[in-house]
Structure 1
Amino acid sequence: MAVLSSSSRGSSEQQEVVLITGCTKGGLGHALALAFAKSGCIVVATARSLASMEDIDKAHPNIQTLLQLDVASAESRDAAVAAALQRHGRIDILVNNAGMHCIAPIAELPLSLLQNAFTTNVFAPICLIQAVLPQMIARRAGKIVNIGSVAGYSSGPWAGGYSASKAALHALSDSLRVELTPFGVDVVVVAPGAIKSNIEVNAAQVYNGLPKWKFYQPWEQFIKKRMSYSQQAGSTSSEEFAEKTVKEVLRKNPPHYLAVGYLSTKLTLLYYLPVFLRDFVYRRMFGLKEVPSSKSD
């Protein structure tokens, strides 16, 4: 059951109501909530733990409602959407931001990790979309914003599970965008590049719980490097990412796809390279030119 915390202010008919998943402090959702609020929207911020949002509603008066929402739980999803609709009467924009990394060599990827990644990155967004669409379709207005990834365009070593989940979200968004045209509902895919956030910390917590690799232990330094790839020097701040994203999403006719952040253009262009060139680049980046001299245990 979602836990509702809200201010005493009612929503204005002129202000768009935005529901955002994954608003934990330090993440992209937290920055997006603040950016939407500063742009004049009424924000419903959600996260698995209310405490993880650390009084985000006090950061701006337009962040009016906090909801506990575990996107992997059907009961939690239904309760959160119902609470938001009861409080504000409508949801104009749904931002599917909550996500999960999945870093592991495919040959040894635990299926439970892959299933969890698809539950969080694919199935949960679709379930939330289905929950908010009836009132959008009835009003012939609304926007669905799915936070994908440039990794969804080009899947490199060690991140095949994550890339596959984001590619699936992109594909589903493509179908949904056309299907919703008659109802006046827009669908926007945001593909972040390298953005500073807490994703490395979260990914490391999951990775540390995995068993030791049988075949790929000699490459562990490269696997861990992939885990922190988006946090390198020069990465775009989450605040800059959020400001650019919100500006585009709030346009009357928002873009269908939006690549934002450091390396986003270069990584997207990798998709269009001949396969042998793309493989060559990835082998060099992640130590796969040859088997390391040290033996795995």
Structure 2
Amino acid sequence: MSELKDLGNVTLLTLDITDSEQVREAVDAVAKATGGTLDYLINNAGHNHFRPILDENIQETKDLFNTNVWGPLAVTQAFSPMVIQAKGSFVFVTSIAGYGNTPWMGTYSASKRSIEIIADTLRHEVQPFGVSVKMIVTGAVISKGQTYFDDFTLPENSLYKRIEGTIAARARGEDGITRMPTADYATAVIDDITKRTSGKLWYGDYAQDVKYVWTSQVPQEMLDAGAIQGTGVYSLK
């Protein structure tokens, strides 16, 4: 946010989307500034996560869903009167991860797919009020989402302990995968959002590939091979 603080047309607000009091305060601040309408609500907040399913800490996954699912839903509900008043748009930044079963990303992928299903259902429910819902199914993009795994470790009794380094490297983005520059992604996404059309925009590196696979009759074996490649699973055999 420090990169935005000096822009004259930007107002920064404190908002932890899992904190109901901060959500209420943000709603009050926006209503005061706009007179009670809001053209666009973009749910971009989220948290990345890497962990084998058998090693998951249930409380940590609940916190993950609070950030990636229930938080955006709470914000959407809170701002909905202003968006409906403006006949505006709800936007949800989702992920191609929600369309795969890539090892070590199971609960993260589940959270991103969950909020997308909620958003897609909302699309039908607010259409009668002239409100659009856009889901940005995001591919690989340069972001800060992989900058907090420096101390990644697995439990000592993990079945996957001997490939801990491989999993940690993938968590940190050291996987050889190309990622779209952030500004290129943002420019295209904002251009699409301002059209106020409903539905999905697949954008970012590999997004179109995943869309093709998801909408095509691709054998399960091929899907699995693509999902597992480079994850270290084969080395466990």
Q: TM-score, normalised by structure 1?
A: 0.73
Partner of 2:127: 181
Match of 1:288 in 2: 233
Size of the alignment, in residue pairs? Answer: 234
Q: Deviations over 1:98-126 (max 9, x none)?
A: 10112100011111221111100100111
Tell me the SS of whatever aligns to 1:259. Answer: strand
Does the 8 Å contact 1:142/1:186 carry over to 2?
Answer: yes
CA contact (8 A) 2:132 2:198 kept: no
Structure 1 gap ranges (5+): 1-52, 293-297
CA spacing shift, 1:262–1:127, aligned 2, 3 Å:
same
Provide the residue aligned with 2:113 in structure 1.
Answer: 167
Structure-1 residue corresponding to 2:57 = 110
Query: Which residue, out of 277, 285, 292, partners 2:222?
Result: 277
SS at match of 2:101: coil
Give the conservation status (yes or no) of the 8 Å contact 1:96–1:146. Answer: yes
Q: 1:223 to 1:256 in 2, by over 3 A?
A: same
Correspondence for 1:243: 187
Matched letter for residue 164 of structure 1: A
SS at match of 2:72: helix
| Higher percent of residues as strand | 1
**Given the superposition, is the C-alpha separation of residues 236 and 230 from structure 1 closer, same or farther in structure 2, using an over 3 Å criterion?**
farther
Unaligned runs of 5+ in 2: none
C-alpha separation between the residues in 2 aligned to 1:210 and 1:71? Answer: 28
Q: Cα distance, 1:81 vs. partner? A: 1.4
| Residues 229-280 of structure 1: CA deviation (Å, up to 9, x unaligned) | 49846311111110000000001x4251011111111233343432222112
Would you say the 8 A contact 2:139–2:207 is kept in 1? Answer: yes
**How far is 1:135 from its partner?**
2.4
> Which range moved further: 260-269 or 208-217?
208-217
Q: 2-side partners of 1:258 and 1:163: how far apart?
A: 18
Give the share of equivalent positions with the same residue, in percent.
29
Match in the other structure for 1:133: 80
Per the alignment, in what secondary structure is the counterpart of residue 236 of structure 2? coil
- Cα distance in 1 for residues equivalent to 2:164 and 2:62: 22
Give the 3-state SS of the residue equivalent to 1:243 in structure 2.
helix
Contact 1:102–1:113 (CA<8 Å) still a contact in 2? no
Is the 1:159–1:226 contact (alpha carbons within 8 Å) kept by the matching residues of 2?
no
The answer to whether the aligner puts 1:256 opposite 2:199 as a matched pair is yes
**1:1-297 alignment, distance < 5 Å:** 53-54=1-2, 56-58=4-6, 60-63=7-10, 65-89=11-35, 90-139=37-86, 141-202=87-148, 204=149, 208=152, 211-212=155-156, 214-229=158-173, 232=176, 234-251=178-195, 253-271=196-214, 272=216, 273-291=218-236
After TM superposition, give the deviation of residue 84 of structure 1 in Å: 1.3
